[in-house]
Amino acid sequence: MRRRVVITGIGLVSPLGLDVPATWDALLSGRSGIGPITRFDATSFASRIAGEVRDFDVQRFLDRKESRKMDAFSHYAIAATQEALEDAGYRITEDNAEETGVYIGSGIGGLPLLEQTHSELMKRGPRRISPFFIPGMILNLAAGNVSIRFGAKGPNLALATACATGNHAIGESFRMIREGYSNAMIAGGTEAVISPLAVGGFCAMKALSTRNDDPQLASRPFDAGRDGFVIGEGAGILLLEEREAAVERGARIYAEIAGYGMTGDAYHISAPSEEGDGAIRAMRMALRDAELAAEDIDYINAHGTSTPAGDRVEVLAIRSVFGDYASRVACSSTKSMTGHLLGAAGGLETAVTALAVHHDHVPPTINQSEPDPECDLDFVANESRRTKVRAALNNSFGFGGTNASLLLKEHAAS
């Protein structure tokens, strides 16, 4: 029999706060974390707004010498992991270290460190390059640094599937535990690329909102006035455990991961397939994996990036999967408040989905003021909603046509 997998710890670093309580409270209150970019002078950029992590003090988690060996995406991952482990009451010891793995991805990794080092190279020559540049920048070092910091000796992996990264990392961790490769996994995504190259690149694609005068109104998924996504940063890390072991140690269980679907569009490098084919198959695969029907789902945390094409196609896909029931499912995009955390989005949003299941409380989609006739679902507009959440889907879709859906449900004793 396949082993059951549960979520016992959550750690968050986000534009809404530096931990789970602050982020969750802001989400339920419908507060936006979007503001003017302060990481660099963005005056000449078409988009000058972002969801920045504010007041983060890395020295709460690492001493100055160690922190300088890493870029911020690793800092955020370590901070969120520490919170997740403490939240779960899970200590990594000699007895369980080899059974505890790490699977943390990032969409882009240490791009700011690459930019800074290249500038130093051009100004002062190759002797000024730090010996820690490569290990500080490469994508798998968030997982590597977490493993080293906390002593996790099980599977140590990273992946990059653009904006689906966090969901894929959690989904693959779910499979590892279910199939017996590990008993516990530290899983999720991390991202910190509010930098000139990243913002400039997305501006060149015309993917970002240019509502610079009203930052908090700029991310408006499914609204007729949407004009692109808002870049964000942070980390979302979960502790997943084999269910019997978690119950035996008396762990608090937020939700059970019951299903996972992953597909490819085979269509376009950045646009979703017009019929939503990949998203449809990912959601259906997650439902089949969990042995649940569409009517069992009470909430969908949508990918909902606030791009004109992406939002429309996701609604089309949800309607295809859920049929007439689609209009009765609560569906919200928390990117309306956090911005789009790229590779960290799935980690944050799976955490939000688990909290919604645990608390029977659904965060809203804010900035819903102009209904789009092509986006006509129940988006929990502007105010959170207390409602029973027996099971929920979290969708993440990425460049390259990569899709991942996770299905979470209430934990039951049998």
Query: Active-site residue numbers?
Result: 163, 303, 340
State the SS3 of the chain.
CCCCEEEEEEEEEECCECCHHHHHHHHHHCCCCCEECCCCCCCCCCCCEEECCCCCCHHHCCCHHHHCCCCHHHHHHHHHHHHHHHHHCCCCCCCCHHHEEEEEECCCCCHHHHHHHHHHHHHHCHHHCCCCHHHHHCCCHHHHHHHHHHCCCCCEECCCCHHHHHHHHHHHHHHHHHCCCCCEEEEEEEECCCCHHHHHHHHHCCCECCCCCCHHHCCCCCECCCCCECEECEEEEEEEEEHHHHHHCCCCCCEEEEEEEEEECCCCCCCCCCCCHHHHHHHHHHHHHHCCCHHHCCEEECCCCCCHHHHHHHHHHHHHHHHHHHHHCEEECCHHHHCECHHHHHHHHHHHHHHHHHHCEECCECCCCCECCCCCCECCECCCEECCCCEEEEEEEECCCEEEEEEEECCCCC
